Amino acid sequence: MTDLTGKTALVTGSARGIGKAIALRYAKLGANIVINYSSDTANGEQALKEVHEHGGQAIAVQADISEAADVDRLFAEAEERFGSADIVVANAGLELLGVPITDLTDEQIDNMVNVNARGALLTMHRAAKNISDNGRIVYIASTAIANPVPGAGLYTATKAPGRYFAEVLARETSDRGITVNIIQPGPIDDAGVFIDSIPADSPFRSLQAAGRIGDRIGTPKDVADAAEYLVSDLAAWVSGTTIGVTGGLPQ
């Protein structure tokens, strides 16, 4: 059993979805939790309430990860409340599927680059500067990186930089005992069922069909299981690597 008592975990984009599942898992394992959300205050408050129900200490911080000053404030508020973070999960991200590259607007490109690429890099940069020795950093990428799908060009391209940043960061922080790893989820849905909003003729639909074991696709719990492993003693010698939680898709 993983024991995170006395540790502090900061998870970006943790008001819902995969980030929330990871934050709640770490709370159950005894960690102090820093919930982060951008604009969905109601979900941030709800996530905070659920962490408290697990008996954990937690704060919820509104911060846009694509803004350097916000990321600085996020880490400063975490430190002020709990001291240096021991675990940082760079999870927050935006999805954009089903738009061919020629149909993308400049606004969509800027937004996705700012949140998915710049935001992930800023989060890991500040994590490396603020995290305690022997800390754990996890980047939530996507199996889209390894499975080019028409209509997912911008998403794929903006999720990739974080992976390579994390791999180099692992080498640069190893002398401090810090591990940096990547989780590449495949298709994930709360209920583990096909995401109906994706048109039946979309190539992403076939990716979902391929990325499953048994009769379901992945759930946030599957990703939280991998995120638990990476901060556990079992993963003390695991760094700079990518774990696919993909239902069998390449990662």
Question: Quick one: which H or E segment has residue 123?
Answer: helix 120-130
* Residue 80, Ramachandran bin (φ over 0: left; ψ between -120 and 50: alpha; else beta): alpha
Residue among 4, 22, 61, 65 that touches ligand NAD (CB under 6 A): 65
- Select the span of 16-24, 80-88, 127-135, 227-235 touching ligand NAD (CB under 6 A): 16-24
- Select the span of 3-11, 50-58, 76-84, 88-96 touching ligand NAD (CB under 6 A): 88-96
Residue with tokens 């979900």: 43
Residue among 18, 166, 178, 243 that touches ligand NAD (CB under 6 A): 18
Question: Minimum CB separation from ligand NAD for residue 12, in Å?
Answer: 6
**Residue 150 CA, distance from chain mean position:** 23
Binding flag, residue 142, ligand NAD (CB under 6 A) = yes
DSSP lists the bridge partners of residue 37 as 62
- Select the span of 12-20, 25-33, 166-174, 226-234 touching ligand NAD (CB under 6 A): 12-20
> Considering beta carbons, is residue 30 or 121 the nearer one to ligand NAD?
121
Active-site annotation holds for 229: no
Residues shown for the chain = 251
**CB proximity list for 196: less than 8 A, separation 6 or greater:** none
